[in-house]
């Protein structure tokens, strides 16, 4: 079996079959979901698809079903690197299949559900990221439109692509505990996001398994740089109540980096006085001093796999639509108390 792909050779279903060590019929069955395949076979085929960046060709449609050659992508915003990377991965993969992309940005100033309804008649399928629209509306959409969910709880009838959050957040928290920190607080609102709720659950899990560690309520803020001031207010409120916080587990890097800067302005040293960790591994995380200990998640891959799963569902695959969970990596830098940088895989 070949282990390397010749870049001069176009990637086809035959290439995938060769890489996975199976027949092209097996590759077709796995990607179409027409008949069950063993978990091991499916894993081998999907791994080959990922390694080769293969985009399955769409299955034939009935002649009376209109094709728009357009995919919809619903995002809660475009600010920051998270959604721009997701969009880049999705759009580039759709383009290789000859599809255009319509993006709907559902910020607080818009009626999200009305905006989504407007594009449903113009797309062949839709990807919905985070909690941009309600579960009830998703269940309505999926009745007539192939649908993939990204970074939100799975719903029957939809594909779902997620990143691992629970294990990596627990690992980050344990890492701070191993540095002797015992009065930790989670920064972010677990009630507003699937990903953040899983990160908070991992944080709680690690603390409850550590004897002597205190489990305080989270500082509930939005996941933006401007929330840093509210984080500082939350710290002062906790300290006024007698809690001397020595570690912050932030829901994302934007919160962590903004808080680190404000801690410095307040005369508090990171990590000496307060250790800080984040989530995402955005570019700035490695350039601030000290560097931010965080979790690297495959944001571009999240978009790429959302496009692939949407291609499959538009092509008619309805079997085996369990959530696809992408791995994350913990990146250790100086903000946790370490004096070196290292990266370790924390989930597969």
Q: pLDDT digits over 284-297, tens only?
A: 998 888 999 999 99
- Is pLDDT at 273 greater than 90 in this prediction? yes
Q: Is the dihedral of CA 230, 236, 242, 243 positive or negative?
A: positive
Q: Which residue matches tokens 């627990």?
A: 170
Q: What is the pLDDT of residues 87-113, one digit of tens each?
A: 999 999 999 888 999 999 987 656 788
**Beta-sheet strand order (sheet of 342-345):** 294-296, 329-332, 342-345
Which among 307, 303, 297, 312 has a CA at the least distance from the CA of 45? 312
Strands 342-345 and 329-332: what pairing? antiparallel
Q: How many residues does the chain have?
A: 348
Q: Cα separation of 60 and 62, whole Å?
A: 7
Report, as an integer, the average pLDDT of 331-345: 77
CA 39 to chain centre: 23
Written as six digits, the tokens of 73 are: 């992508």
pTM for the predicted model, two decimal places: 0.76
Strands 329-332 and 214-215: what pairing? unpaired
Higher per-residue pLDDT: 68 or 183 = 183
Evaluate whether 309 touches 146 at the Cβ level (below 8 Å). Answer: no
Evaluate whether 46 touches 36 at the Cβ level (below 8 Å). Answer: no
Written as six digits, the tokens of 207 are: 């603390």
State how far the alpha carbon of 104 is from the alpha carbons of 92, 126, 162, 211, in Å. Answer: 17, 10, 20, 47
- E-strand spans in 235-336? 247-250, 275-277, 294-296, 324-326, 329-332
Q: What is the pLDDT of residues 35-87, one digit of tens each?
A: 667 778 878 887 887 777 665 544 444 434 457 789 999 998 877 678 889 99
Q: Is the peptide bond before 163 cis (omega within 30 degrees of 0)?
A: no
**Average confidence score pLDDT of the chain:** 84
Higher per-residue pLDDT: 60 or 125 = 125
pLDDT for res 66 = 55
Report, as an integer, the average pLDDT of 126-152: 91
Written as six digits, the tokens of 174 are: 């344990």
Evaluate whether 324 touches 159 at the Cβ level (below 8 Å). Answer: yes
Which among 239, 226, 227 has a CA at the least distance from the CA of 268? 239
Report, as an integer, the average pLDDT of 208-212: 75
- 114: CB partners within 8 A, 6+ apart: none
Report, as an integer, the average pLDDT of 243-265: 94
Report, as an integer, the average pLDDT of 221-228: 87
Q: Which residue matches tokens 């906790």?
A: 238
Q: Cα separation of 257 and 274, whole Å?
A: 13
* Phi-psi category of residue 210: left, alpha or beta, with phi > 0 → left and psi -120 to 50 → alpha: beta
- Is pLDDT at 343 greater than 60 in this prediction? no
Evaluate whether 288 touches 125 at the Cβ level (below 8 Å). Answer: no
């Amino acid at each position: 079996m070949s282990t390397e792909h010749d870049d001069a050779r176009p990637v086809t279903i035959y290439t995938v079959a060769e890489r996975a060590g199976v027949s092209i019929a097996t590759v077709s069955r796995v990607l179409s979901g027409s008949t069950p395949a063993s978990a091991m076979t499916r894993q081998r085929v999907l791994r080959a698809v990922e390694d080769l960046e293969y985009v399955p060709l769409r299955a034939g449609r009935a002649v009376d079903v209109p094709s728009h050659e357009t995919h919809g992508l619903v995002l809660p915003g475009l600010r920051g690197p998270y959604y721009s990377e997701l969009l880049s991965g999705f759009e580039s993969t759709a383009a290789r299949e000859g599809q255009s992309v319509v993006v709907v940005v559902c910020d607080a100033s818009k009626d999200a559900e009305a905006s989504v309804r407007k594009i449903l008649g113009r797309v062949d399928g839709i990807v919905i990221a985070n909690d941009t629209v309600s579960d009830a509306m998703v269940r309505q959409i999926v009745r007539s439109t192939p649908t993939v969910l990204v970074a939100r709880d799975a719903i029957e009838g939809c594909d779902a692509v997620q990143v691992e959050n629970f294990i990596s957040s627990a690992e980050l928290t344990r890492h701070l505990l191993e540095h002797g920190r015992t009065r930790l607080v989670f920064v972010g609102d677990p009630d507003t996001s699937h990903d953040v709720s899983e990160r908070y659950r991992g944080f709680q899990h690690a603390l409850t398994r550590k004897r002597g560690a205190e489990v305080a309520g989270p500082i509930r803020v939005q996941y933006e740089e401007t929330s840093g001031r509210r984080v500082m207010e939350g710290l002062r409120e906790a300290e006024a109540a007698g809690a001397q916080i020595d570690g912050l587990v932030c829901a994302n890097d934007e919160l962590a980096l903004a808080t680190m800067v404000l801690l410095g302005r307040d005369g508090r040293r990171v990590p000496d006085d307060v250790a800080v960790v984040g989530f995402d591994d955005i570019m700035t995380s490695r350039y601030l001093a000290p560097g931010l200990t965080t979790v690297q998640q495959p944001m571009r891959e999240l978009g790429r796999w959302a496009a692939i799963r949407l291609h499959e569902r538009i092509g008619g695959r309805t079997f085996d639509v369990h959530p696809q969970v992408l791995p994350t990596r913990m990146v250790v830098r100086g903000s946790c108390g370490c004096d070196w940088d290292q990266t370790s895989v924390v989930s597969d």
